[in-house]
Amino acid sequence: MDAIRHHSFGPPEVLTLEQIPDPVPGPGEVLVDVVAHGVHLLDTSTRRGEAGGPLPLPTLPTVPGREIAGTVSDVGPGVDASWRGRRVAAHLGAVPDGGGYARRAVVVAEKLHPIPDGPDGAPLDPADATAMIGTGRMAVYTLDIAAVTAADIVVVTGAAGALGTLFVQEALQSGARVVALAGGAAKLKLLRELVADALPGPPPDAAPGPMPGGVPGQVAGAVPGTALDAVPGTGRLALVDYSDPGWVDAARAALGSSPATLVLDGVGGDLGTAATALLGTSDGTTDGASDGTDNGAAGGRLVAYGWASGAANRYTAWAGADRIESPVEVRYAVGPDAPPMSDQRPYQERALARAASGRWRVATHRVPFAEAARAHRELEERRTTGKVVLV
């Protein structure tokens, strides 16, 4: 079968298309003909040979990847034969040698999820289902911790990413106001289209006009001379390009006199720290950032779920157990607070259900299977939107 393997750690080009023997399902397992293979940011650091993530480095050569969707083509001893021919999605587990970037994968039958029908009555697209099995699961879990309500004003970093696109939609669906931060106009455009698609027309509870306390007479997102943009009519979403040096002022202009109440941060570093400082009132009180700086934040909650920038958000003083004193309530959706892999199934089911119902529009960045190296390069260069999937 075709598989993407690497025999050494290094740049994206170490990923090569090879022929390797078909796997054979053992007792309790099935064979899946895979048509959609999830690509994770973690796959890129593993490929570079960087230890320190949640998984140990694999033994080489290795087939990366842990999220798949396809059709069951064979069943092993003890498995109900009716699985044959069914469309399924599965997470292969928290294992360094995932085997997901291969055209066939052996999966423990208990890990299979039948792919549900989507809002149009047709089966959910396999790439969308793949996105739900790992990233959607993480989104549900993180959102459980965040407990977004209609009273919240939510700041999302990396808002055009795999998780960010889901957080923005869910927060809006919950009635909250959202400041979505992403790098570049193209990413914000995609987010705008996605949200407009998911929330056609102003939601019934949306107050027309600016966010509370916004610039008088101006809809947040239409502030001249700033990087703000918005989905017309909702009045609840501001899109801010944080590659623009003036982005903090733009975000503050969108917030007006109402501080953010919740930050969802998976970027970390200076961006995540500056985003967290949007919590509170800029009254000059010490905000408790672990480096002792005063960013002016006075309260609110931060849910940290990653550090795509490679550095910690200074409010989190990663790693996990090392809680800092801060007026910002910090919660972690990764590390010791994350549910163990054995408990992931309910989160996967809920993620698939949200995509199936149309509550979430799934954004995918699809790359031909043979071009896995390109997919990794684009992820590392921050040129993707939504979930990266090899097809």
Ligand X SMILES: NC(=O)c1ccc[n+]([C@@H]2O[C@H](COP(=O)([O-])OP(=O)(O)OC[C@H]3O[C@@H](n4cnc5c(N)ncnc54)[C@H](OP(=O)(O)O)[C@@H]3O)[C@@H](O)[C@H]2O)c1
Q: How far is the CB of 217 from ligand X (least distance, A)?
A: 30
Q: Tokens 């698939």 label which residue?
A: 352
Closest to ligand X by CB, 167 vs 369, is 167
262-265/153-156 β-pairing? parallel
Tell me whether the omega of the peptide bond preceding residue 182 falls within 30 degrees of 0, making it cis.
no
Q: How far is the CB of 75 from ligand X (least distance, A)?
A: 28
Token pair recorded at residue 227: 């990087």
Binding region for ligand X (CB under 6 A): 40-42, 134-135, 138, 158, 160-164, 182-183, 187, 266-267, 305-310, 334, 379, 382
Q: How far is the CB of 128 from ligand X (least distance, A)?
A: 14
Closest to ligand X by CB, 164 vs 235, is 164
Q: What are phi and psi of 365, to 5 degrees?
A: -110, 100
Q: How far is the CB of 151 from ligand X (least distance, A)?
A: 25
d(CA 309, CA 304): 13
Which residues are CB-neighbours of 349 under 8 A, at least 6 positions away? 113
Q: How far is the CB of 291 from ligand X (least distance, A)?
A: 19
Burial pattern 114-149, b for ≥16 Cβ within 10 A else e, equals: ebbebeeeeebbbbbbbbbbbbbbbbbbbbebbebe
Closest to ligand X by CB, 102 vs 138, is 138
Name the nearest CA neighbour of 108 among 31, 9, 20, 172: 31
Closest to ligand X by CB, 82 vs 342, is 342
d(CA 209, CA 137): 34
Q: How far is the CB of 219 from ligand X (least distance, A)?
A: 23
Q: How far is the CB of 106 from ligand X (least distance, A)?
A: 22
Phi-psi region of 342 (alpha: psi -120 to 50; beta: other; left: phi over 0): alpha
Closest to ligand X by CB, 160 vs 278, is 160
Handedness of CA 88, 191, 331, 306 (dihedral sign): positive
